[in-house]
Every structure is written in structure tokens, then in C-alpha cells.
Structure 1
Amino acid sequence: MNDSYYIRENGQQTGPFTLQEMFQQHLDVDTMILVPGSDEWQEASYVSEFFEYFEAQGIYFPTEGNLASFWVRLLAYLIDSIILGFAIALLASDYLEQMATLFTSTTITVEQKMQRLQLNLLLTAVFALYNTLCESTPMRGSIGKMLCKLAVVDADGRRLSVGRALVRNFTKILWSFVLGIGYLPILWSERRQGWHDMLAKTYVIRRDV
């Protein structure tokens, strides 16, 4: 019975290797592998027996079975909102007290309306920066996502670069102006992506499956 694996790098084929020997070859997701019983070379990221190997390196491939639902993502968002709300209240309580009048006053001037808009933009930007920093580190997601056992990854299962995380999270600011409509495709899209995910080519996956 053929249980040998082969690797092709720089046009050179090496092997045969047993499965255990393959785990010692410093595989990358793009490494081309010939698996037992197959005549077609394929990238290591598509070979199911190496999924745990890559997860041990912090690489979580987005698959049909591990994509996070809208509702668990909403729960993570609510947790983050509470955490950031407490943090902002502690660090900028005086400023928030002054700004609170903008939302409680029955009659406000044009200048106050602009101040209200600026405050909304500032809070949205803080939330976006918070998520960007978390997603581009080994955390692979905000505190809320970590508590819900979620991670944000690219198509290869890797954590996001700072640039990709910025694109993903600052695109969310646009949805804040249109009642969050960009999040709704998560409910029905095949890959459970919001418009910000589609633009940045990112996925939110569950770590516990």
C-alpha cells in the first residue's frame, strides 16, 4: 500500500516521506505536495491531514465548517463595545461629560451638530483602530472575538497584515453611515462575509471546530 508523500520545491521533487516525516519538513501553505493515491500535486493548505499541523502554527484555514455566523460575531461586537465603553469612560470621563450635553439637549446649534458628528467619528475610529491592532497581532482578533473563540484570517489562514486590517476595519466606518447595511451579507453569503470582508478578502472563523 502506498503511504508515501512527496514534496516539490523549485522544480525539484523530494521524498518519499511518511506522514510523520512530513511534519518535520517545515511546510508552508504553498508547499506543493503529492499525497498517497493521487497523481495531482496540490498545495499543502488543501490537504486535510495537515490542518492540525498548520493550526499549531497559528494558521486557521477558512472552510465551510468553521466560518463564524452573524450571531456569534454580533456577540463578540457587543462584548467589545462594553469593554471599550468602560475603557473610554475611565480614561476620558471629563470629556464625555461635556459631550453628553450634545445628546441630551433638546435644541442644539449647527456647531453642536458638527461636534456630535465629530464625536461619533472619533468613537468609530477608536473602535476601528482597536480592531486593527488586535487583528494584526498574534491575537488575530479583538478581546470579544477571543472570548467567543473567533479569529480573523486571510484566504490562506494567516493573520492579517496591518494594511489589510486597516482596510477591513476602516471600511466599517462607511457602514456606520448607512445603518450597518454592509454587515447584513454575513447572514446569507456563502462565505459569511460582510462587505468589509469581501473588500479586504478576509474571513472570520471559529477556533473551536
Structure 2
Amino acid sequence: MTNVPPPPPVWDAQPSAAAATRYGGFWIRVVAYLLDGVLLYVVGTVVGFVFGLVVGFVWHFVGVPATAQTIARIGGGILGLGLGILYFAVLESSERGATLGKRAVGLRVVTDQGQRLTFANAFGRYFAKIVSLLVLGIGFLMVAFTDRKRGLHDMMAGTLVIHNR
């Protein structure tokens, strides 16, 4: 008897004819987002620390006025925002179609036709989340009450969050 490794997981967004598509509900998406938030916080802290060390080291030897410190703080904020945007857009448009938090709970983001997201679509979905937040968070709460568990940002981006297990 030989040891044959198990087959790799199937990340195909297309459900079999016998199985109905299961959509990711509100609470499981909250858990996934919290996992992503913790991960981004840790990575952002490390990146911010390194950024601060580099900038501080350069300032020590160059001598920089106080206005440059403000510019560096703004630069750090932009760096953090860019990190978050890239995290969500790159991973949701990847072959697996999910951030690490979504993967941990067995979710995947697909187009409303069940196809893999393009980077542009995932990038737009990230900014559509801002709209969901700006309407007092109601755009996120819509996930709990719509038939395919779609938030306002999902509707704007033409996406679905589905279970892939």
C-alpha cells in the first residue's frame, strides 16, 4: 500500500448541478473580516515600525524640519491604506478568490455569474465598501437581509460571497 497524498482542495466557484450555491452570511463574513483585520494590524504595525526606523535614521543624519515629520506621518497613512487596498484586491482576484480570513472560514468572492474576479473588479469592490460604510453601515447590514446575502458593495461591484467547502 503506497502513501498517496490527498488531492488538493478544489477552489472552483461553480457548484455541481446537485448542490445549491451557499452564500456567505453576515456573521461568518464578520468573522472573516475580523481575522483579516488582525492580520493587517500585525503586518501594518511591522511595516510602520520599519518605515519609522528608516525615516528616523535618515532624519538623524540629514536634519529635517518639523513640516517634514507631518509629511512622513501622511506618507505612513498612505502606505497603510495602500497595504489594505492591495491585500483585499490582490487576494480576492487571485486564483483562490479570497483573503486569508475568508479562506479560513471557507468563503470565496466571485462575480454574480460565479467567475473569478478581475483585479479591477476587486479593486472597485474595496472602494464600494466605503460607500457601504458611509450610509451608516447599512450597506454591510444588507448582507443579513438580502436573498443572496449581498451587501451594497457586492451589488455595486457585481459580486457574491459563497461557501467553497
**Same fold judged by TM-score > 0.5?**
yes
Structure 1 runs of 4+ aligned residues shifted over 4 Å read 94-97, 121-125
- Correspondence for 1:80: 36
Aligned match of 2:5: none
Name the structure with the higher strand share: 1
CA distance in 1, matches of 2:153, 2:42: 26
Taking a change above 3 Å as real, the CA distance of residues 68 and 192 of structure 1, as seen in their structure-2 partners, is same
Name the counterpart of 2:12: 58
- Give the Cα separation in 1 of the matches to 2:134 and 2:79: 14
Task: Work out the number of aligned pairs and report it.
Answer: 135
Alignment match, 2:137 = 180
Unmatched segments (≥5 aa) in structure 1: 1-54, 98-111
Alignment of 1:24-173 (within 5 A): 58-61=12-15, 65-93=21-49, 119=77, 123-173=80-130
- Structure-1 separation of matches of 2:31 and 2:46: 23
Query: 1 or 2 for the larger relative contact order (CA 8 Å, sep ≥6)?
Result: 2
Q: Report the Cα offset of residue 64 of structure 1.
A: 6.0
Q: Secondary structure at the match of 2:24?
A: coil
TM-score scaled by structure 2?
A: 0.69
Give the letter for the 2:161 counterpart: V
Give the corresponding residue for 2:64. Answer: none
- For 1:60 and 1:96, the matched residues in 2 are separated by 45
TM-score, normalised by the number of residues in structure 1: 0.56
Q: Displacement, 1:163?
A: 1.4
CA RMSD of aligned residues (A): 2.8
Does 2:150 correspond to 1:193? yes
CA distance in 2, matches of 1:67, 1:182: 17
Alpha-carbon offset, residue 170 of structure 1:
1.3
Deviation at 1:65, TM superposition (A): 4.6
Larger Rg: 1
Higher helix share: 2
Whether the 8 Å contact between 1:89 and 1:96 is mirrored in structure 2 is no
> 1:129, 1:163 → 2: CA distance?
11
Question: Which whole-Å CA distance do the structure 1 matches of 2:52 and 2:141 have between them?
Answer: 31
